[in-house]
């Protein structure tokens, strides 16, 4: 399975697990080209532009390759490259197992989407975020719910309401290192996709991600690409 196909499959699977009610109103923001960076030293999972967040300086947020606003399954607005930037800050991401597994951040992180002039598309304060590493640099996934919507300026007068979930998945690592003990992930840089939507996230999502990781690992060993 090629990485692009794997990424699409993972995202579809994760989103499918979010308990989407097809009859409910749904606003989605689909993000591509989301660069994220992690450091065990700081325990921060952030956008790759800067660990600084909510500084009102667009240089502290990562330019996205694309951002789409989808309303009830229909594309509402497609933003082209570098129009929307992501300002991600997730604290307290400690001791990600080198062999793969999940850890839980502390609450109070943020996931903000800004326009290039620094104005707001969507600003979210996050609850605890579950961060799941597959092992073997197959993928990193993170997901959680927002505790507050701190600002929004969605197109077409759309207004996002609770509950709001955030998911991030990457299968492409541009750097990766284990710590000196080889037990924990020390740092990585990765490029992936993000999905923000107004639906609840079931607790089962990361249990199933564990099963997915096992399946992907088997696939990798069998070289089914």
- Can you give the binding site for Ca ion, defined by CB under 5 A? 33, 35, 47, 50, 53, 60, 62, 87
Tell whether omega for the bond before 163 is within 30 degrees of 0, i.e. cis.
yes
Residue closer to Ca ion by CB (options 33, 144) is: 33
Quick one: CA torsion of 162, 128, 192, 96, rounded to 10 degrees?
-160
As measured in angstroms, the least distance from the Cβ of 202 to Ca ion is: 29
Helix and strand numbers, DSSP H then E, in the chain: 2, 12
Residue with tokens 């065990």: 40
Residue closer to Ca ion by CB (options 21, 82) is: 82
Quick one: CA torsion of 74, 83, 50, 124, rounded to 10 degrees?
-40
As measured in angstroms, the least distance from the Cβ of 82 to Ca ion is: 9
Residue closer to Ca ion by CB (options 15, 61) is: 61
Residue closer to Ca ion by CB (options 143, 194) is: 194
Question: The tokens of 140 are what?
Answer: 């990193």
Whether the Cβ atoms of residue 65 and residue 80 lie closer than 8 Å to each other: no
As measured in angstroms, the least distance from the Cβ of 98 to Ca ion is: 26
As measured in angstroms, the least distance from the Cβ of 21 to Ca ion is: 31
């Amino acid at each position: 399975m090629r990485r692009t196909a794997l990424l699409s499959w993972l995202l579809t699977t994760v989103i499918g697990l979010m308990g989407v009610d097809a009859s409910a109103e749904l606003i989605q923001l689909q993000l591509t080209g989301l660069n994220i960076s992690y450091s065990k030293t700081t325990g921060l999972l952030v956008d790759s532009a800067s660990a600084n967040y909510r500084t009102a300086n667009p240089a502290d947020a990562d330019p996205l390759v694309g951002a789409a606003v989808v309303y009830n399954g229909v594309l509402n607005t497609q933003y082209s490259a570098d129009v929307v930037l992501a300002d991600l800050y997730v604290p307290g991401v400690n001791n990600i197992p080198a062999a793969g597994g999940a850890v839980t951040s502390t609450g109070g992180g943020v996931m903000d989407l800004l326009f290039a002039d620094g104005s707001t598309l969507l600003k979210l304060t996050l609850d605890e975020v579950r961060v799941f590493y597959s092992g073997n640099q197959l993928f990193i996934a993170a997901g959680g719910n927002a505790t507050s919507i701190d600002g929004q300026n969605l197109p077409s007068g759309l207004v996002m309401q609770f509950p709001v979930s955030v998911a991030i998945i990457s299968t492409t690592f541009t750097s990766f290192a284990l710590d000196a003990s080889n037990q924990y992930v020390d740092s990585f840089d990765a490029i992936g996709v993000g999905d923000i939507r107004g639906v609840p996230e079931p607790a089962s999502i990361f249990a199933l991600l564990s099963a997915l990781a096992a399946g992907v690992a088997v696939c990798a060993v069998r070289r089914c690409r």
